[in-house]
Amino acid sequence: MENSGAKNAKLFNSTKTMIGGLVMLIISMGIGRFSYTSILPLMQSQAHLSATESGYLAGSNNLGYLIAAFGAGFITWGSRRAYHLRMQLVLCIILTGLMGITSSFLWWMILRFLAGVSSGLIFVLSSSLVLDALFSDKREKWVGIFYGGVGIGIVLAGLLTPVLSIFTWRGTWIGLLIISIILIIPVWSFIRDKEPKPITQNAESLSSSAENPSIFGWLLVAYGLEGLGYIVSATFLVAMVKQMPHMSIFADFSWIIVGIAAVPSTVIWSWWASKVGYIKPLIIALILQAVGIILPVWLPNIFGVTLGSVLFGGTFMGISMLALAAARMSRPSSGNRAIALMTGFYGIGQILGPIGAGIVLEMAHSYKLSLLLATLVLVAAAIILLSGAVNSSKKRAIGNLDHARIHPDQELS
């Protein structure tokens, strides 16, 4: 009975940690980062923000995210991850509201940069905290629920933006600050560190080619390209749809569809990964995302935008979850550092993407070329990862053959 009670207590604690992490992603990523996509058209029309300035603001946020992501994995947090998470959550919420206080482009740049730092630290630390809790209790399949917080946050911000817009773009930012405070209060006590425990890998997890450490470099490059490719659509989707003939009224809903598709996607991708490993679903997700980004260009109507939004929303968080989990399993002894390096490369892509897309947009006066280039980047990422998987499989096969030659008695037995 005691063992059963202790086990139930452990499961209850890891569930609370997961719920706390989910809410942290809603606030830091869904609201703190991606609400900019739904508020951007308001700022362009009411605050006269240009396309180039829009790209620089997104790039500033992603630069902060990059710096934080790289730094987080090389800092010894000890047993104070929860303390730093709480501090960064408070900062992230305040920075969101301050966007509605000032009209200075310079201050917007600073605020978006600091928000990027805060959300980057929260993403890496919360991922580390929640993955440790779930993996130590052998609940890998629950990882998808945790990462679903980003999609929930996008849906929430997308639904609230049209409502809050009656108070102009300023009221929208400030309103999201208030919503964030309401969300964090119930789960504040859930944000706490667990005792460090060794992470074990079950047989299903080891079916992934990510168990081979040689896949890690390929993952880094592919995930960096994913950051570059996906962020173009994540930044400009709503603004692009607003410019389509007879589609402007549908623009806000396109981002809501992205969030709705993202919510269950991480659970679905996580379930598939538990059956076949992380790499195959990751390659498929990259290809589907490329199709989702180019669809509104091919079909600039409600069907193209809706299906494109579903494919984009259904893959972008799934890709993050699959890539980070694969990287962590290929570096089981340095999970924090692996997640930080992956997020850092992702951040580099996110800096280059919106700035480059904004410049292309100013030159071409159309989103089509930017989205086409983003699609090609994602196709390249899928090809690179496929090459890495094939290369890793060959190395593993050679390693097994060498082992058989050195230990023939073990193989026969």
Q: How far apart are CA 253 and CA 267, in angstroms?
A: 23
Task: Give dist(CA 219, CA 10) in Å, integer.
Answer: 32
Phi and psi dihedrals of 217, rounded to 5? -60, -40
- Angle 178-183-187 (CA atoms, 0-180°, nearest 5)? 145
CB 347 within 8 A of CB 231: no
Residue 205 pLDDT: 41
Closest CA to 355 of 74, 68, 60: 60
- Distance from chain centroid for Cα 136: 23
User: Among candidates 47, 48, 49, 68, which has minimal Cα distance to 58?
Assistant: 49
Using the structure block, give the residue that is written with the tokens 């900062």: 91
Spatial distance between the Cα atoms of 173 and 148, rounded to a whole number of angstroms: 23
Cα 73 from chain centroid?
17
* Number of residues that this document lists for the chain: 413
Tell me what pLDDT residue 173 has.
97
DSSP conformation class of 244: S
**The residue type at 180:** S
pLDDT at 203: 39
Which amino acid appears at position 390 of this protein?
A: V
For residues 379 and 306, give the distance between their C-alpha atoms in angstroms, rounded to a whole number.
21
Spatial CA neighbour of 243 closest among 190, 188, 200, 305: 305
Q: 């994995």: which residue's tokens?
A: 73
Give me the residues of the chain with pLDDT under 50, please: 1-2, 198-210, 401-404, 410-413
Q: At what angle do helices 215-242 and 302-330 cross, to 10 degrees?
A: 160
* Six token digits for residue 285: 């997700």
Kindly report the pTM of this predicted structure.
0.76
pLDDT in the model for residue 199: 45
Sign of the CA dihedral with 137 first, then 142, 147, and 153 last: negative
Residue 235 confidence (pLDDT) = 77
CA-atom Rg of the chain in angstroms: 21
Distance CA(413)–CA(263), nearest Å, equals 48
The crossing angle, in degrees rounded to 10, of helices 143-164 and 105-136 is 150
**CB-based contact 233:312 (threshold 8 Å):** yes
Closest CA relative to residue 94, chosen from 191, 186, 27: 27
Q: With contact defined as beta carbons under 8 Å apart, do 150 and 23 qualify?
A: no
| Contacts of 238 by beta carbon, 8 Å cutoff, 6+ apart | 37, 38, 40, 41, 251, 252, 254, 255
CA distance 280 to 258: 23
| DSSP, res 201 | -
Domains of the chain, residue spans: 8-193+202-397
**CATH class of domain segment(s) 8-193+202-397:** mainly alpha
pLDDT one-digit tens code per residue, 234-248: 877 877 888 887 777
Rounded Cα distance, 254 and 317, in Å: 17
Whole-number Å distance between alpha carbons of 11 and 211: 26
Cα four-point dihedral sign 328, 393, 380, 233: negative
41: left (phi over 0), alpha (psi -120 to 50) or beta: alpha
